[in-house]
Every structure is written in structure tokens, then in C-alpha cells.
A and B are shown apart, each in its own frame.
Chain A
């Protein structure tokens, strides 16, 4: 009898293996499954885009959203299912290395053909695998009404009279610290919104704020050529954090002039920070144009559209008067080549519909709020929310240069997690600044080696 049992078990084991191996790639329906990266507009996709697309073409569209540092994890578990995502997003060249086995070539598609600048797409092995769909910008968002109130104070300590005259770190620091001294008169709880450090909310610092010293270092290493900074960073085995003191300048300014005392920021998430700004509890918050919906859509929002403006991330770099906000993209779309051919074809129909039909473009411009890199959009079809308009305005300024997004060259997500954790330890007073900066350097060397650089 024992023998019978063992035969049954062995048979079951063997039988089960093809079931595991054969699961993927057999999706029966042509449903387009889009794994979205942007939580701010998740509802727009499910409530507006999906119904409109289904009505226009009859193709079902399913949108699932994953973010807060969970995109890679969600993608990994979803893509091994029997109906994997058809359209997924990668964050740049590092992401492409991880997912190139799943990305279908896009060279001959109309979607790729719509790019105004085809060189923006990502390629590997001579094939175009990922196409960017939105250009974004970030900096310090400020509420001009509060700034005007400050500059109207009779006893202000600075000589300038508007926020637009702030063009370097020294001025920014003087203004911010004097505003903190006058915060009761200004009716704010702090100049900056809380430095959100809750799990999953530290990307504004370990990725976005960090972009400036990262760019500056690799611009230097590329012989001063700003456009080569990303490529240099992407190939770099080591990172010296030359500009760590500059990072610290602005980082300390955020922490010392915040709505929340240092001990509490570990419990704040980015939505809290944006709400503080929308409710007028603070004058400034570091974020990008994707945050518009988190300001304008908040019940009790006290900030007028015309008062929402950007300042660059000044941190004491040489010649920073000539630097603008950080502009770039980490949003590239790929088509999963392991999805069913029908779903892949439908995915291209969806992307073409979204970015070239009148109905789709209207949704992109007015509901999703993307500044797109496609030639199908006319000048007057760019989004009208105040932050997107500010991004285009900063990009068009002749006397300042935008800082390109260089953080796509960070060797791994683990690097970001390690640096974020070190920043929290610094806030908690358990790590000195030297040690915090050293974590960034050591983790880069380790992760770059693991990434095979």
C-alpha cells in the first residue's frame, strides 16, 4: 500500500510541473491589462479612460494601480500569472535591463512613430522597447499668496520683494528662516510641508532631491556636459557624493523649517505633505506637476490656481542662478510580449487611441494631465493645470537650463531603500551626516557591482 501511495504522490508531482510551466501566455481574451504606476490618477483611468475606450472600440480595458515603491513587486507577481499585464511601465534604462525579456519591439508601431523626438525612446539590442509618454518637472512648489504676505511684512529681514527674486540657496535660506520667525503672523505652521518619511513615502528625497547632487557630480565626470550626465551615471561603478554638503544644505532647511518636528516625520506620507500645502498650513512643498490633483482636488483647498508656482531646488551649487527645475521622465511604456498576440495588438490600439484620437487626447490633456512628448498634440493641447503650465514655462525660459532627471542611473531600487533608511536615521539623530553620505557611496558600489557594471 505504501508503494501505491508513493506512486500516486510521484505521479502528482510530475503531472503538476507542466501546469506550472504552461500557465503564462495563454490569455484567452483580448483584454488590455494596463498596470498603472501613478496613484494620483488611478481613478481617472478606471472611471473615465476605460469606459471611453471600451465605448469607442469595444475592447475591454483593465487598469490596476501599484505605486509607493511597490510597482516592481506587483509587476513581478502579476507578470507570472496566466493573464499578465499587457502594458507595463519601466522607469528608465535600469528598469529596461530587468524587463527587456518581456518587452516587445515597438520599432514599426504607430505609437513609437508619434514621438516628437524618437531618441527619447529606450532601445536594447537594436530594437526600440520602451516609449516615454509624459514629461514631468519638479522643484519646490510654493504658495505665492503666503510669499506675498511675507514680502509685505514691514520687518522682513531680506531686501528682495518677491519669490521670483530667489535665485540661490543663500537667499532661499534667508527667506525661509525669516518666514519661520514670522510664522504666526503668516498663519502657517511651518514654511515647508512635512518631510514625509513613512514607509513608501521617501521617494521625494532619496530619488528626487538627490537628483541634483547626482546630476552635478556626473555632469562634472562627463566633462561638464549636462546631457551626458545620465549616461555617465548609468555606467558608473562608483559614486563619490561630491555634492553631499549641498544636499544637506537643503535637506536641513526642509527639516528645520517644517510643519512637523523631526520626531514626527517618520509617520508622515507624501499625501499628508500635499494636504498641508493645499490647506495653507505651509508655504512650500517639494514635489512635481503630478501633484496638481493632490492640491486642487483636496476638499478645503485654500490655494488659488494662480498662486501655485515652482522654485528650483537651490542647494548652493556654483552658478545655480542659471539652473531651473528638474525636468525629465521616468515613465516609459512597454508591451508585454508574453501576453497573447491579440491582447498585444489591442494594447497598441489603446495607446494610439489614447495619444492620437481627439477623445483620447482630451482625456490626456484635461483629466490625466500629461505633458506628452508626442507630435500628435498641438501647442494648445497641453494640460492647463497650474503646475503643468509652470513646467512648460520653466522649460521655455531662455536664461535658465533645466536639470535633467539623472536618477534613472541609480543602480537599483535597493540603493534608494538603503539611502532612504539612512536619511531617516540621520533625522532620528542615530547617524551622523558623514555616515549617511557614506551609505550612499557604499551602497552604490555594491549595487553597481551586483547590476554587473
Chain B
């Protein structure tokens, strides 16, 4: 058995490897090569060394500005989404009527696409701000909190479903034993529930963290980075550099490589620490 697996491994892995190469590996290697080139379309590239990486930071400071904005947004949204999703999950695993209906309702926004959501919230927020003679373009803080609310609305339901599945899998006898021993609600939560759902927390943190960093369509539809790049996130900055500035295609590519490295590093670090936490428990 073992032997035949070894023998046929390459053949059976081939379709997967082809897909992986065509859709990921080859574009990635190309992107990396292009980040050292000057080009208009990818068929006429010429090598320029690390100039693109220098220009990414020296021509304007929008990239660093976008980085800090994205970081702030990601921290706030990761914390809020997970707390709210977890609270919903706790409430909706209680034995009360109507939980299924509420689960469905809370999950629904996740089925709407990012651009549509962006427009919906753009209209809502502008409608509210109009009462004060303002709109979402008046100040970048409106765009920031608008994005946070939008992401909460879209993602809390999804993360809630993951948490619900985990909470329902907690062995009932552990909870019973705890209540017989007279453990308080808080002790039950911190000593039994949270440790048992730790793998789900890892997944949810990973998903919200990478979603936050990679956010593009909601950003585009809500504010398009206005006013004055004040709400421009990394992905949008890269897109704008690549497509809206002539001669900056290579710079956009260099930014994309930096972006990939940052996101991968942060995601791996987070996985490493939460996994360690899982094992410690």
C-alpha cells in the first residue's frame, strides 16, 4: 500500500499541482520578477533593479499612510468582529426559541457582495451625515468607522456560525460537572468554553486578520480612498499605483510583493501564537 502510494503519488498529485502552478505559483514568480522591471504591459518588461522598491516609498507617502490606516482598521475590526461574533454565538446556543431565525438573519449580510454592501452603507452613512450637513467624504474618520461597521455587519455572522459549531461541540458533561461543582458563569466561560473553542478562535482570527488586510471592494465602493487618500487601504493603493500612474506599473508590483510578505508574515505569526496557546491548554 505504502509503496504503491509512493509510486503513483506524482501522477495523482499532478492535476492539483498543475492548478496550483497555473493559478498561484507561476503568477507569483512572474509578479516577483516584474517587481524588478519597468513595463507598460507584461510582455515588454525591462530590468531596472530595486528602483521600484525605492520609488514605492520616496515618490509619495501614500503607501506608508495606507499601511498605518490598514493596520489600525484591521486591529479594530478583528477585535470587534470576534467579540461580537462570539457573544452572538453564546446567546444563540442557549436553549431559547427563535435561535435559528436569528442565526439566519445575522448570517445573511455575508451573502451580499462587497461592492453592493459598500454602496448600501455609503447611502446609509450619507443619509445620516446629511442631517449634520456633512457626508462621508468630509472627514476620513467617517470612512474609517464606516468601514468598520460595514465589515462587522458582513463578517460577524460568518464568524458566529464557526463559533456556534464549536460551542455545540463542547461535551455536555464537562459543563454539567462545572455547574455541579458550583462554578460561576465567568469561570465556566474562561475555563471551559474558551479553551474548548480555541481552534475556532485561531481560524476566526486568521480569517478576520487576512480579510482586514486584503480588503478592497468594500473600500472602493464606500469611499474609494477619499478624501485625499485618507481612507485608502493597501490593496487599493497598489491597484491605483499600478493602473492610474503611467510608468508606475513596476512600483505597483513592488508594493504588491511587499504587501504579500507583510500579510504572510503577520498571518503566520498569528497562527504560531494561537497554535501555541491551543497546545498549552
Contact = CB atoms under 8 A, between A and B. Distances in A.
Interface of A: 1, 4-5, 8-9, 12-13, 16, 20-21, 23-24, 69, 72-73, 76-77, 79-80, 98, 101, 197-200, 261-267, 412-414, 417, 421-422, 424-425, 428, 430, 446, 450
Nearest to B224: A199
A251 B182 CA distance: 72
A417 B244 CA distance: 9
B243 A77 contact: yes
A80 B43 contact: yes
A90 to B, nearest CB: 11
A13 B26 CA distance: 6
Interface in B61-91: none
A79 B17 contact: no
A20 B243 contact: no
A241 B96 CA distance: 69
Interface residues of B, number: 44
A1 B122 CA distance: 54
Nearest to B26: A16
Contacts of B137: 197-198, 266-267, 424, 428
From B17, B40, B135, name the one whose CB has the most chain A CB atoms within 10 angstroms: B135
A198 B245 CA distance: 20
Interface of B: 6, 9-10, 13-14, 17-18, 21-22, 25-26, 29-30, 40-44, 59, 122, 126, 129-130, 132-139, 223-229, 243-247, 249
Contacts of B40: 76, 98, 101
Nearest to B135: A267
Nearest to A97: B246
B227 A266 contact: yes
Contacts of B14: 8
A413 B134 CA distance: 28
B279 to A, nearest CB: 29
A20 B41 CA distance: 11
B41 A24 contact: yes
Contacts of B26: 12-13, 16
A424 B42 contact: no
B228 A424 contact: yes
B10 A1 contact: yes
A428 B22 contact: no
B135 to A, nearest CB: 4
From B14, B40, B132, name the one whose CB has the most chain A CB atoms within 10 angstroms: B40
B10 A4 contact: yes
Contacts of A422: 228
A261 B138 CA distance: 12
A424 B244 contact: no
Report the 10 A-B pairs with minimum CB-CB distance, sorted nearest first: A266-B137, A199-B224, A73-B243, A80-B41, A421-B228, A263-B134, A263-B133, A267-B135, A12-B21, A98-B246
Given A13-B29, A424-B227, A80 B244 contact: no
A72 B243 contact: yes
B229 A421 contact: yes
Contact of A266 (B10, B132, B225, B226): B226
A341 B134 CA distance: 54
Contact of B243 (A1, A5, A76): A76
A69 B13 CA distance: 46
Nearest to A449: B59
Contact of A450 (B13, B138, B247): B247
From B122, B126, B246, B247, name the one whose CB has the most chain A CB atoms within 10 angstroms: B246
A20 B224 contact: no
Contact of B244 (A20, A73, A198, A263): A73
A72 B6 CA distance: 52
B209 to A, nearest CB: 28
B43 A267 contact: no
Nearest to A22: B43
Contacts of B139: 428, 430
From B10, B41, B225, B229, name the one whose CB has the most chain A CB atoms within 10 angstroms: B41
Nearest to A99: B40
Given A263-B132, A263-B133, 11 more contacts: A12-B25, A13-B25, A20-B42, A101-B44, A262-B133, A263-B129, A264-B133, A264-B134, A266-B227, A413-B246, A450-B247
A424 to B, nearest CB: 5
Contacts of B25: 9, 12-13
A76 B21 CA distance: 25
A66 to B, nearest CB: 11
